[in-house]
């Protein structure tokens, strides 16, 4: 199995970060297999999403509607205001995804990108693990 970690700067705001380029570079020339993208943090997730057409902002707005950043709603209350909601996020947006790789290329659809979803303003840098199993 091939594996490596990458660092992704997310800053001090809720963000959706396109990491497709990192994953493309990781699988390039590897043949056929499966790549797993994993974020080992309790307040972030990984998703496949169309980016650049407003879906990024729509996703963050939907997260705020599903998990309102209201400290009075959560038992988990340390960190910045609304941080309790951040800890519930991985139940809806998983911390990992698996994507097929065919002849060293991601088998994504035309408009699909791999994104890191990070609503937590308290951690400006995220570590992600990429792992590939080849056929």
Domains and their CATH numbers in the chain: 2-134 (2.60.120.460)
pLDDT of 82 over the 90 cut: no
Q: For the whole model, what pTM was predicted? A: 0.94
Bridge partners, residue 105, by sequence = 102
Bridge partners, residue 134, by sequence = 33
What are 47's two structure tokens? Answer: 């998703």
Exposed, middle or buried, 53 (CB in 10 Å: 0-12/13-18/19+)?
A: exposed
Mean predicted confidence (pLDDT) in 53-82: 86
pLDDT of 70 over the 90 cut: no
- pLDDT computed for residue 95 by the predictor: 97
Within 10 Å of residue 43's Cβ, how many Cβ atoms? 24
């Amino acid at each position: 199995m091939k594996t490596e970690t990458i660092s992704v700067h997310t800053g001090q705001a809720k963000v959706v970060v396109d990491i497709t380029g990192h994953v493309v570079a990781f699988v390039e020339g590897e043949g056929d297999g499966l790549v797993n993208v994993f974020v080992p943090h309790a307040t972030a997730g990984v998703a496949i999403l169309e980016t650049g057409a407003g879906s990024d902002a729509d996703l963050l707005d939907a997260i705020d509607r599903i998990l309102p950043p209201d400290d009075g709603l959560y038992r988990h209350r340390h960190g910045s205001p609304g941080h309790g909601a951040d800890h519930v996020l991985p139940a809806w947006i998983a911390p990992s995804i698996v994507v097929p790789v065919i002849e060293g290329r991601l088998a994504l659809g035309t408009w699909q990108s791999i994104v890191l979803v990070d609503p937590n303003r308290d951690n400006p840098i995220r570590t992600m693990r990429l792992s590939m199993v080849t056929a």
